[in-house]
Amino acid sequence: MASATSGKITVVFDADYKAQHPILVGGVDLHLIVQQLTSAPLVGRSVGLPKAVYDLANQVFDAIADFSGRGLPQFLAVTIADRFFECFWPFWRSLSSLGFQLAASELWKQLLQCTIDWESKHAVKIHKGTPFFWLGESLIYQADIDTAFLFIFNAIEQDKSWSQTVGQPDKYKQSPAYKTATINDSKENTLYEIAVRPVRDLVSSHATDFSKSTGLVFSLNDFQSNFLDRPDLEKVVFFFVYNVYNHVQRNRFKQAPLFFENDFSKLRNLDSIFNMCLVIEEILQHKYARIRTNYYISDGVLDLAAANAWIPTGKTREETEKQFFSKLTGVDLRLDPSATVPVILSGKITYDGGPLRPELRYLLLAWHLRNYGGHNVRAQDILVQSYDRIFEWLMFALFVSIVCK
């Protein structure tokens, strides 16, 4: 172990320059100082932090700037910031567990604003991954999903930045923010039970049903290795997890279907469905587009079907599509979902005189809804009446896009 001192701040660090607890301020444990300063807070919808907290933050940030100026490794600066913000975790946890959720999130907002104010006057950036993640966690508890994921993704960007700086570009993948955004099976993640596990369970259930429906062997582990763990699909994975978590939260109230019989629900469901179609389209683009531009879900569906010998390949893409639709009967993808979706879900479509194979039914549903959602905001009753089945089939279409060659 070694140590460094700047002003009243003394930091102990290991051989890797990882700052250790405790950080000392004038010889006193920083944890104890923060505990004393937050022992009698003004708590309501917000939380009132004493001026001494902001003064303390500035001292720690000044020390980080000083250590960086002396040429000490950036990893030390990152971990000092982590140790500082971790001192507020017990106070935040007590606010959260007592039901002061707004005050709990306000704590991190105030600490982040204090940090940003300091950064605006200095050339040094403070690592903010820890408060970003815990603010995201607070917002998850408040069911403010969109804003929660905004800050979880902010935490990931912070973690990516310092990982690059310290020469370990994949280090950020060990962070709880990344493990949340990729539904990593890491039970020590504080968001595992509330955010990760529900999505994993849903995917696992759909994977089992998909295997029964198609006869293809597919599991959550296959989804993990062929989608969640692929670096080239990282942003698509993030978007998928965000969208499916929204779906899970929506379905908390499925026992009261009357709640969803309004035009807003129809449009909200269209947004969820459209987002899933975009994920499918992106997978197909990664698999087949190569250098082609203006590659759409229709191109991907036809390419996948031809690659698996489900349909013949024409000399041109236009010829392939023409041949496909000449043999397809019972459905018109150009009509509104109210007419087209029930036909696709019924399974009565035929191709070349026989039943259309299930994999193509799932992909046709995605093709139809992707094109409809990209050009319309009209409310459709079918998007409420058959929402769960539509979502399930879109999950199946995603699995087809992943597992088939």
Q: How far is CA 32 from CA 54, 66, 105, 369, in A?
A: 16, 24, 22, 57
pTM of the entire predicted model? 0.92
Which pLDDT score is estimated for 253?
Answer: 72
The residue among 175, 152, 149, 150 whose CA lies nearest residue 162 is 175
Q: What is the pLDDT of residues 242-270, one digit of tens each?
A: 999 999 998 877 665 566 678 888 888 88
Q: Give φ, ψ of 372 to 5 degrees.
A: -70, -50
For 276, the token pair is 């899933």
Examine the pLDDT at 235 and tell me if it is beyond 80.
yes
The residue among 181, 183, 231 whose CA lies nearest residue 203 is 183
Distance between CA 182 and CA 267 in Å, rounded?
Answer: 27
For 253, the token pair is 């109230």
Identify the residue with better confidence: 188 or 267. 188
Examine the pLDDT at 86 and tell me if it is beyond 70.
yes
Other C-beta atoms closer than 10 Å to the C-beta of 328 total 18
**Is residue 94 packed enough to be buried (19+ CB in 10 Å), middle (13-18) or exposed (0-12)?**
middle
Q: What is the pLDDT of residues 290-307, one digit of tens each?
A: 878 889 999 999 999 999
Examine the pLDDT at 379 and tell me if it is beyond 80.
no
Sign of CA dihedral 49, 53, 54, 60: negative
Examine the pLDDT at 311 and tell me if it is beyond 80.
yes
Identify the residue with better confidence: 179 or 256. 179
